[in-house]
Amino acid sequence: MIINVQSKEPIYEQIVLQIKSKIKNGELTAGDSLPAIRTLAKDLKVSVITVKKAYEILQTDGLIMSVVGRGTVIADVKREMITKNIEQDVEIKIKELMSYSQKQGMSKRELINLFKKVVGDIDE
């Protein structure tokens, strides 16, 4: 897991998104164990509270669960559910971006053109 401390995205959200992505891509499957909160916090050099918050969000979303004697494991979820969950997260971010760009005086057309440019740069 890679954390970008310079990102405007909170660290706990980065953790959540990376775990969701690993579940969606099949890197993590039902029953797989996640590191203990303290272990992951130490490995990432972040606060225990930060990892705890990420795990709480994932648990609330039904993606992970605590199992006595095993710790935190990936719940039995369908990939479609993860995809829908990620799409909802992205939709929220897009709406935030739209709001921000409008406050900065950008038109919808300018934002769309910029988005197309960025997506094109990523594909190349």
Domain residue extents for the chain: 11-77, 80-123
Say which residue the tokens 């225990």 belong to: 48
Number of alpha carbons in the 13 Å side-chain half-sphere of residue 59: 13
CA distance linking residue 35 with residue 41, whole number of Å: 9
pLDDT digits (tens), the chain, 124 positions: 889 988 889 999 999 999 999 998 889 999 999 999 999 999 999 999 999 999 999 999 899 999 888 899 999 877 677 778 778 888 888 999 999 999 999 998 999 999 888 888 776 5
* CA-to-CA separations, 110 to 2, 27, 96, 121, in angstroms, rounded: 32, 37, 16, 16
CB neighbours of 98 closer than 8 A, spacing ≥ 6?
A: 108, 111
Written out in words, the top-level CATH class of the domain with range 11-77 is mainly alpha
Own/partner contacts of 44-51, CB < 8 Å, gap of 24 or more, are 44/1, 44/3, 44/11, 44/15, 46/3, 46/11, 50/11, 50/12, 50/15, 51/12, 51/15
DSSP reduced 3-state for 108: helix
Say which residue the tokens 């891509």 belong to: 25
pLDDT at residue 105, as a whole number: 94
Helix (H) or strand (E) holding 71: strand 71-74
pLDDT at residue 123, as a whole number: 61
